[in-house]
Copies of this chain bind each other. A is one copy, B any other.
Amino acid sequence: MATGRTHRPATRSRGIPEATVARLPLYLRALTALSERSVPTVSSEELAAAAGVNSAKLRKDFSYLGSYGTRGVGYDVEYLVYQISRELGLTQDWPVVIVGIGNLGAALANYGGFASRGFRVAALIDADPAMAGKPVAGIPVQHSDDLEKIIQDNGVSIGVIATPAGAAQAVCERLVAAGVTSILNFAPTVLSVPDGVDVRKVDLSIELQILAFHEQRKAGEEAAASDGGAPTAAARSDSADQGPDGDMPAVMPA
């Protein structure tokens, strides 16, 4: 499992903080929109607003990449798009495979956001023989028997798991054995992988449960408030939970 005790402090020396890395795609999206509108430069304030973050945070994030801004002016949009793309590794082509072509897998295959940014669906894989050959999103589904060969022939290093929970761990192991070192898991299971392999999870069920928690809390406070309400302090505001950032993903079964 990750956490190989050993290594250092975590993200060290030349490394960019994880929290920053997670925000770079957000900045990139906002910058791309500006680019399409032919906006030449943008200030940290404007860009921060577009990305939904604090401007100080944005400036600090960019400072980890280098000094790409011009004081009194702002940042050059095109240049920044390029720098962030390069930092994220989007200047190269990343072939990905999607395993498990059910409702979700098909939705992912049809998702246009792949090609838009360096990602290319190299293959769709499913364990159901009946699916083999059937085209989904214009790509013929291949049987999982050929998983290893597909991974190797296409030099795939990123895999997306959209299978039922029960099959996820086994698929994960085959992917890793075949050479995949980054996995995006939509199955509602905790995957265990060897050191050096990255796993990120997306789980609808977990996200909903977190929302339910806050929803319940809001209902409780509301009840307590209507009870006599502290005029002044009533200014809850704070903890209006921001949700958006600072948390973790969830999983999504099939």
Contacts and interface: CB of A to CB of B under 8 A. Distances in A.
Interface of A: 1-15, 18-19, 21-22, 24-26, 28-30, 50-52, 87-90, 92, 94, 96, 102-104, 106-108, 110-114, 116-119, 157-158, 181-184, 188, 190-192, 195-218, 221, 224, 227-228, 230, 233, 235-250, 252-254
B236 A52 contact: no
A192 B238 contact: no
B243 A245 contact: no
Contacts of A90: 209, 212
Given A1-B52, A11-B238, 4 more contacts: A1-B228, A13-B236, A113-B188, A198-B244
B22 A247 contact: yes
A90 B119 CA distance: 38
A61 to B, nearest CB: 13
Number of copies: 2
Nearest to A195: B240
B202 A250 contact: yes
A111 B227 contact: no
A198 B1 contact: no
Contacts of A237: 7-8, 195
Contacts of A213: 21, 24, 87-89
Contact of A94 (B108, B112, B212, B244): B212
A118 B247 contact: no
Contacts of A103: 103, 106-107, 110-111
A52 B246 CA distance: 20
Contacts of A203: 25
20 contacts: A2-B243, A2-B244, A4-B240, A7-B237, A9-B238, A11-B238, A15-B238, A19-B247, A25-B209, A52-B190, A90-B209, A92-B216, A96-B208, A113-B205, A158-B212, A182-B211, A182-B214, A196-B218, A249-B249, A249-B250
A78 to B, nearest CB: 19
A146 to B, nearest CB: 23
A7 B198 CA distance: 37
